[in-house]
Amino acid sequence: MSDAALLLKAAADGEDSAWCELTALYGPRMWAAARSCGLGDSDAADAVQGAWLRLLENLEHIREPQALGAWLATTARREALQIIRREPVAVPALHPPFESDPESAFLEADSVRLLWQLVTRLPEPCRTLLVLISSEVGYQQVAVRMGMPLGSIGPTRGRCLRKLRTLISLEEMVQ
């Protein structure tokens, strides 16, 4: 049984410490998933809290405990998207989500490390651009630091992410 499955079972059996371990293990990627939707701190906190409440509702019904991290990241993202819709009363989905976004696996620690290794292989200006954008620096500052017109940052970012995806695909072919 995986660590996640053991922790999940212990939390379902009433072990508070197991729940705390789950929050420490998966909280950061849930935060990243919520922030990826463009939410500010307060709304992102709300989305993450919502995802934990969904886990509480489903503690004994998670189909793939080994993929709990992906489920939580996906759930945080869905809560974030619901917040963006600004509905005064946000009724939960009729059926709780069981399927995770396949992409949420990229928020696993190993994938994050690999991703940064791949970024270092990108040519300039992509390498520096992605470092700056990942540092929460606004486009205005990125433009100044890179000596690029402001209007070209978005399109260049798109091209750089495409190059990064190509490296990811090559890496996946090798493995």
Q: Which residues bind another protein (CB under 8 A)?
A: 11, 14, 16, 19-20, 23-24, 27-33, 35-37, 41, 44-46, 48-50, 52-54, 56-57, 59, 82-83, 86-96, 101, 103-104, 106-107, 111-113, 115-116, 119, 130-131, 133-136, 157-158, 161, 164-165, 168
Q: Which is nearer to another protein, 1 or 90 (CB)?
A: 90
125 prior amide bond cis, ω within 30:
yes
Nearer to another protein, 38 or 151 (CB): 38
Q: Which helix (H) or strand (E) holds 68?
A: helix 68-84
| Closer Cβ to another protein, 36 or 152, answer by number | 36
Which position has the token pair 């909280």? 27
Q: How far is the CB of 150 from another protein (least distance, A)?
A: 18
Query: Which tokens belong to 162?
Result: 């495409």
Give the residue with the Cβ less far from another protein, 57 or 99: 57
CA angle 62, 65, 69 (to 5 degrees): 100
* Burial degree of 17 (CB within 10 A; 0-12, 13-18, 19+): exposed
